[in-house]
Amino acid sequence: MQNKTLIALFALLLLLAAGLSAEMSGASFLKEEQGARVLALGSAATALADDINSLSANPGGLNFFVSPEASAMYTKGMLDSYYSYLAYVQPYGKLGTFSASFLLYNGGSIDITGSSGTSTINAETDMALSFGYGINIIDTLGCGVAVKFITSTLAQDYHALAAAVDLGLLYKQFDGKFTAGLAFQNIGTRLVYISQGDALPFTVRGGASFLVRENGIESWLVAGDLVYLDSSLRYDLGVEAVLFKMLSLRAGYKFNNNPDVFTFGAGFEIFQARIDYAYCPTGELDYTQRLSIGFKFDSPSPFKAALEYYRKGMKEKALYILKGIPKTSPEYEAARTFIKLRG
């Protein structure tokens, strides 16, 4: 009953917040999800519980991580503008999982001509520092919150501060073949420059992902999102094929995106490191290229991953993993012993 009440309250808060989001927003640097994999999948990120960068879209997946992870991203924009992003996730057993991230947008330089001549100044600098926390309501349902502190500077002289909160829920089946997420982002104060202010880009998003095929050679993932932003509804769709658990090929499409865009990219994973690349047109003459680098500080075996879930209090998920360890695995006997003692 308690779990159902929490979910009902969360859904009610989503509906109330959506009703307050009619005005157009500023702070456009907060509108896009982070990470090259996410962009290549058409930004269909709400249900991607296995990607550290998808946490920027939905913190509800935080407590499904079983090892520390870090990620860095760089995006070249128009002219000399750029985005950069850093993120880190740290699980703490029963205490839940914590995260921190930092986003920097630099709008490049512009020339200003005045009575004293021409000078070059920075057009815009925006920063967002975020701290997240996630726990699980039940073994298959996680919830998370992220608190953001945002600064913005225009033409080097006009400054604004804001604070915001992201909230998310994520459902993930024991076998990971189906996940579903619900989140809302950037509920907070306005960015006010002198006396004029912009609302933050409040966003409501829901999505699902399906692992439609998986074997030792290949796996296929399909993900889709509905995103409500600036009084309009966007549809994101992405497909990913992973070959030999090393090479990933991705494509996505953003419908009703003004303009609609086709995205694609690739990734390469070896040992505990992953490099991802994405290409996304943003108009007739412009495009975005994004490069992400991720690293897992531990790559736990199925037995170790099950122990971590058990420490988190997700006992049913831990036992499901242990029961799936085959007899040919060197961890089989340890898994059987653990099930007898704790199952």
Q: Both 112 and 151 in a single domain? A: yes
For 229-254, the pLDDT digits (tens) are 888 899 999 999 999 989 999 999 99
2 confidence band (pLDDT: 50, 70, 90): very low
Mean pLDDT of 190-213: 88
pLDDT at 260: 87
pLDDT at 9: 47
Q: Is residue 265 within 8 Å of residue 39, measured between CB atoms?
A: yes
Q: Both 295 and 306 in a single domain? A: no
Q: Both 283 and 317 in a single domain? A: no
Q: Is 148 exposed, middle or buried (0-12, 13-18, 19+ CB in 10 A)?
A: buried
pLDDT at 6: 46
- pLDDT over threshold 60, residue 173: yes
Q: Strand (E) positions, 139-198?
A: 141-154, 158-172, 178-188, 191-193, 196-198
Mean pLDDT of 33-38: 90
Query: What type of residue sits at position 340?
Result: K
Sign of the Cα torsion 129, 42, 134, 89 reads negative
Q: Is 258 exposed, middle or buried (0-12, 13-18, 19+ CB in 10 A)?
A: exposed
Q: Both 42 and 129 in a single domain? A: yes
pLDDT at 19: 52
Q: Both 225 and 339 in a single domain? A: no
Mean pLDDT of 175-192: 93
Higher pLDDT, 162 or 21: 162
Q: Both 294 and 304 in a single domain? A: no
Q: Is residue 138 within 8 Å of residue 315, measured between CB atoms?
A: no
- pLDDT over threshold 50, residue 114: yes
- pLDDT over threshold 90, residue 296: yes
Q: Both 193 and 313 in a single domain? A: no
CATH code of the domain in which 176 resides = 2.40.160.60
- pLDDT over threshold 70, residue 25: no
Q: Both 34 and 131 in a single domain? A: yes
Mean pLDDT of 310-324: 95
Q: Both 237 and 309 in a single domain? A: no
Q: Both 194 and 220 in a single domain? A: yes
Mean pLDDT of 85-113: 90
Higher pLDDT, 259 or 206: 206
Structural domains counted in the chain: 2
Alpha helix (H) residue ranges in 258-312? 302-311
Query: What type of residue sits at position 28?
Result: S
For 129-142, the pLDDT digits (tens) are 999 999 999 999 99
Q: Both 137 and 197 in a single domain? A: yes
Q: Both 204 and 311 in a single domain? A: no
- Percent of the chain past pLDDT 90, that is, above it, reads 64
Q: Is residue 293 within 8 Å of residue 299, measured between CB atoms?
A: no
Domain that holds residue 323: 300-343
Give me the chain's average pLDDT, please.
Answer: 87
191 confidence band (pLDDT: 50, 70, 90): confident
pLDDT at 5: 46
Mean pLDDT of 186-194: 87
